[in-house]
Structure formats: structure tokens, C-alpha cells
Structure 1
Amino acid sequence: MRSIGYSSAIVLLSASALLTAGCGWSPKGPDPEPQADKCTPADGPAQNVVTASVYALPAPPSGKWTQMGSGHTANCALYWVQVGQNNSTPDSLQQVVFFNKNTMIGTPTPNARPYITVTASAPDSVTVQYQWQQPKDQPGMPTGIGSVRFTVDGGALKALDPIPGP
């Protein structure tokens, strides 16, 4: 009797081990290789065009605009430059300026807003995340949030989603 009990226990343990091995954790594979940037300086705006475009924006209430970040889509058609105030605070105004080739094609909103982040670039679009203060939010801690994808259409800036916020 005892040998049947031990045999059953061994079979159960072996089956459990096999099931666990089939459903278990395995280490993550290597990260994908980053794609080489195929865009050349000639695909984007010249620095003097970027500078002139930033200076053409309505001035912030205090300080001056300074470049915070920049990038482009993988197809090299849409370039962006994010600007903010040089004496910024968490709720300082910001703006994103878009370019197609060596031409400024606009800003997503007519007026600068706080809490803007360029979050991603797809092959032919750029995603901008907007945040805004809700009535009961603490200063500098907005809970309103939404994202908009932008692309170039016929040489013009096109929003693929509605621009969120108040």
C-alpha cells in the first residue's frame, strides 16, 4: 500500500513540475536594436529658421522662449521643437513648433499652454500630451490629460485627434 502512495506522490510531483515549467517565467529577451536615424540635416529646418520661428511666437509673460526638446518622425517629414520659458516653473507656458522641411508649419494651439509633453513619434506622426488644471487640483498637479497626434498633410500641420483641455 505504501509503495502505491509513494508512486502516486512521485507522479503528482512530476506532473506539477512539468506544468509549472510550461507556464513559468522566462527571462526577457534582448531589447530591439534601435533604428538608425535616416533623416539628414537637409530634411529638417535650419537652425536660423528654428530661431526665427521661435522668436515669432507671442512672447511669454516673463522671460523668453528657450528650446526644451526637439525631434522628428521616422519618415523625416515632420520636425518639432518644444519651447518653454527660460525662467520656468512647473506651470509655465510652453509651446510646440512644427516644421516640414525648412518651413515652419505652425503650432498646435494659438496660445501657449502649461504642461505640454511630446510623448512619441510614429513613422509619420508626433503625439503631444496636454495636461490642465481641474477645479479641485493642487497647483502644479493637473489631473486633466489628453493626447493629440499630428502629421503633415500637403505641407500643412494636421491634428488627427481633437485638442483636449479647457
Structure 2
Amino acid sequence: MRVSTALVVVTAAVTAACGWSPPSPAPTTTQACGPGPDAQAVATEISMLPQASWTESARGHAADCRLNWVVVSSGAASDSPQQVLFFDGDKGIGSPTPEPRPYISVAAQGDHDARVQYQWRQGSDAACCPTGVGTARVTLEEGRLTILDPIPGP
């Protein structure tokens, strides 16, 4: 019993030190969503980013299937610049951050909302384990991306 308690404490300490946060619960919906924005819509939005070899690293959608996002990365390293692109269906509606940054993840939150998590390195943090963590909520309002919180970061 003591060994398992110690393991839980050590695991919690390690994950907290690396800035990890658990994923949000999956959106509750009975609606089946399609695959999200098509390749042409994503390519159009990528063409507006700074020149790099952008590749898709994640995608998702809010419960109502209208707010979609695609996270793109410019490299395979954990600290490679990323950008999150939001869509209303296949129509690009922008990004909450003007410049690419590493360590971006997105989770659905509600019918047409999402939470964007940003992480950043502080002090002597290793590339794998940024300790700076903050989130910003975004929503789809009248076909536009609305940022509900200040964008966190260094």
C-alpha cells in the first residue's frame, strides 16, 4: 500500500513539473461530425503563415461540429513552432495567436467553444518539459473566432 501511494505522489510531482495537464472531457453530443476542414481549406490557411514546412499534428471540433481546429507544426521536435488554425466548417476564421509558438494544444469546451492551452519554457526548463502553462478560451460567434481570455505566455 505504501509503495503505490509513493508511486502516485512521485508520478503527480513529475507530471506537474513538466507542465502537463489532463485533457478535458470529450464533448457530449449525439451529432456525428465529419472529418473537419478539407485539405484545400487547411492549405489556404497555412499559406498565410510564415514560410515553413507546416504539417498537421492534431485536429478536433466542438460538440456542435461547426468550430473546427487544426494544429500545424513546423518540425518534429517538441519545441518546434506550431500554430492553431480555426474553421467554421471549411471556412478559415483565424488563429488566436499572431505568431507561431511551441507547445499548443486544443480541447473542446461546450457546444461551440474550445480551450487553447499554451506552454512555454521558463528558466532552465528542458525542451521536453516546459513549466509555463496557461489557457485561453475561444468561441465561434456569428461566423467569427472570438477570443474570450488574454493569450498567456512569456
TM-score where L is the length of structure 2: 0.73
**Residue in 2 that maps onto 1:70:** 59
**Residue in 2 that maps onto 1:3:** none
Contact 2:63 2:108 in 1 (8 A): no
Structure-2 change in CA distance of 1:138 and 1:40 (3 Å): closer
Q: What's the offset of the Cα at 1:50?
A: 1.4
Contact 2:31 2:64 in 1 (8 A): no
Query: Counterparts of 1:92 and 1:128 in 2: how far apart (Å)?
Result: 17
Contact 2:78 2:127 in 1 (8 A): no
Q: What's the offset of the Cα at 1:149?
A: 1.4
Give the partner amino acid of 2:58.
G
Give the partner amino acid of 1:53.
E
Name structure 1 gaps, 5 residues minimum.
1-33
**Residue in 1 that maps onto 2:50:** 58
Give the partner amino acid of 1:49.
A
**Residue in 2 that maps onto 1:45:** 37
- Structure of greater relative contact order (alpha carbons < 8 Å, 6+ residues apart): 2
Query: Counterparts of 2:107 and 2:63 in 1: how far apart (Å)?
Result: 15
Query: Counterparts of 2:107 and 2:87 in 1: how far apart (Å)?
Result: 17
Structure 1 segments, 4+ long, off by >4 Å, are: none
CA deviations on 1:67-126 (whole Å, 9 max, x unpaired) are 1111111112211001012x3211100110001133111011010000111133422211
Is 1:131–2:123 an aligned residue pair? no
TM-score where L is the length of structure 1: 0.68
Larger Rg: 1 or 2? 1
Give the partner amino acid of 1:141.
C
**Residue in 1 that maps onto 2:8:** none
Stretch deviating more after TM superposition (113-122 or 88-97): 113-122
**Residue in 1 that maps onto 2:97:** 109
Contact 1:55 1:65 in 2 (8 A): no
Give the partner amino acid of 2:71.
Q
Contact 1:72 1:121 in 2 (8 A): no
Name structure 2 gaps, 5 residues minimum.
1-27
Q: Of residues 156, 160, 166 in structure 1, which corresponds to 2:144?
A: 156
Query: Counterparts of 1:110 and 1:121 in 2: how far apart (Å)?
Result: 22
Q: What's the offset of the Cα at 1:138?
A: 3.0
Give the partner amino acid of 2:152.
P
- Between Structure 1 and Structure 2, the one with more helix by share is 1
Contact 2:29 2:64 in 1 (8 A): no
